[in-house]
């Protein structure tokens, strides 16, 4: 899934988050969803504790097994094999992490800064030579990872 232009990163999200991003057009919906979950969990847990309840009473491992097993079974029944395989492949990609390092991201930010600075000082047309032939550009030569 490619995110809207406000981030431009390629990330795999769970379906509710993808729908929230598609509805609003930005990743701000993702943050809003996380904050909402934190508020709900803290209010429910905090209210339970303030009412002198014991939090361990809420931890029911067999209930978790029943709910997760039912959800997984419903997922298998409701989807064709290709979707199930694609889902597990996507989960594998998500858990594998990024193939880019912090150094690559820092070089990209440096390149963008240099390009934007040149555009601001000399105008957008000054970037044409750098963009058309990046292998001959002094700016692009400073950032070999890009």
Three-state SS annotation for the chain? CECCCCCCCECCCCHHHHHHHHHHCCCHHHHHHHHHHHHHHHHHHHHHHHCCCCHHHCCCHHHHHHHHHHHHHHHHHHCCHHHHHHHHHHHHHHHHCCCCCHHHHHHHHHHHHHHHHHHHHHCHHHHHHHHHCHHHCHHHHCCCCC
Q: What pLDDT shows up at residue 112?
A: 94
In the chain, the percentage of residues whose pLDDT exceeds 90 is 48
Between CA 42 and CA 35 the distance in angstroms is 10
Q: What is the pLDDT of residues 120-139, one digit of tens each?
A: 999 999 899 889 988 888 99
| Predicted TM-score (pTM) of this structure | 0.43
Q: How confident is the model at residue 116 (pLDDT cuts 50, 70, 90)?
A: very high
- Predicted confidence (pLDDT) per residue in 43-69, tens digit: 998 999 999 988 888 888 999 999 999
Q: How far from chain centre, in Å, is Cα 105?
A: 15
> What pLDDT score does 24 carry?
54
pLDDT at 40 over 60: yes
Place of tokens 């000399």: 122
């Amino acid at each position: 899934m490619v995110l809207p232009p406000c981030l431009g990163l390629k990330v795999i999200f769970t379906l509710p988050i993808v729908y929230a991003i598609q509805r609003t057009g930005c990743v701000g919906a993702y943050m809003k969803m996380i904050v909402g979950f934190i508020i709900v969990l803290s209010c429910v847990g905090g209210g339970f504790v303030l009412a002198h309840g014991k939090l361990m009473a809420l931890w029911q491992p067999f209930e978790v097994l029943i709910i997760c097993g039912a959800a997984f079974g419903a997922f298998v029944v409701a989807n064709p094999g290709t979707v199930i395989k694609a889902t597990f492949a996507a989960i594998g990609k998500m858990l594998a992490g990024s193939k880019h390092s912090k150094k690559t991201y820092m070089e990209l930010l440096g390149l963008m800064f240099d390009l934007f600075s040149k555009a601001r000082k000399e105008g957008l047309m000054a970037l044409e030579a750098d963009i058309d032939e990046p292998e001959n550009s002094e700016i692009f030569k400073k950032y070999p990872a890009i």
